[in-house]
Amino acid sequence: MVSEQKIRINPEKCTGCRVCELICSATKHNEFNPKRSRIHIVKMERFFIDIPLVCRLCPNPLCAESCPTAAIKKEQNGTVHIDEKLCTGCQQCIEACPFGSISIDLFNNKAIVCDMCAGNPQCVSWCPSGALELAHNQALSQKKRWEAVAKTAKSLIKKWKIPGDEYERYYGKCRSNDV
């Protein structure tokens, strides 16, 4: 049975504090070392943008398909597991991952990826800005649907010159009923 939980990232809320990287490395390796984290913050300094990257729990992970030693497997709970004994550090999984979610632990030259901390991801628990959330797939799809509708509605309201306060009053009611 595949897990219905994923880490949802809201880059608009990310402050770039990197607490998620520190807590991940502390949880997994008992040290505060962002290079050993399974979540990474990509900083675009020029634009003041910080974007967290974490495993997307692909239904058919390309990282697993690319692994020549079969060290990477998709678990029943939906997470990707890397068997350190089989991993050679060849980095083919890094090249295959379209999201940049896998990295190499420089201390043992083995691939590492988020395992959702057995269903209780510490990065989510410790994120001070709320940029990381633990969400169910159904809630994610409903939220994305609503965001797409809201974006389209905003552009139409602007085009049709409908007063903004009317939209905000309506949108606020709809948002409060959202899952």
- Domains of the chain by residue range: 5-135, 138-177
Spatial distance between the Cα atoms of 170 and 11, rounded to a whole number of angstroms: 25
Q: How confident is the model at residue 139 (pLDDT cuts 50, 70, 90)?
A: low
Give me the helix-helix angle, 137-159 and 164-177, nearest 10°.
170
Would you identify the CATH topology of the domain 5-135? Alpha-Beta Plaits (3.30.70)
For residue 1, pLDDT beyond 60: no
Spatial distance between the Cα atoms of 39 and 152, rounded to a whole number of angstroms: 32
Q: Which of 46, 5, 7 is nearest to 127 (CA)?
A: 7
User: What's the predicted TM-score (pTM) here?
Assistant: 0.74
Are the CB atoms for 87 and 111 separated by under 8 Å? yes
Proportion of the chain in helix, strand, coil states, percent, rounded to 5: 40, 20, 40
Average pLDDT, the chain: 87
For residue 176, pLDDT beyond 60: no
For residue 141, pLDDT beyond 90: no
Q: What whole-number percentage of the chain has pLDDT above 90?
A: 65
pLDDT tens track for 10-53: 999 999 999 999 999 999 999 999 999 999 999 998 888 999 99
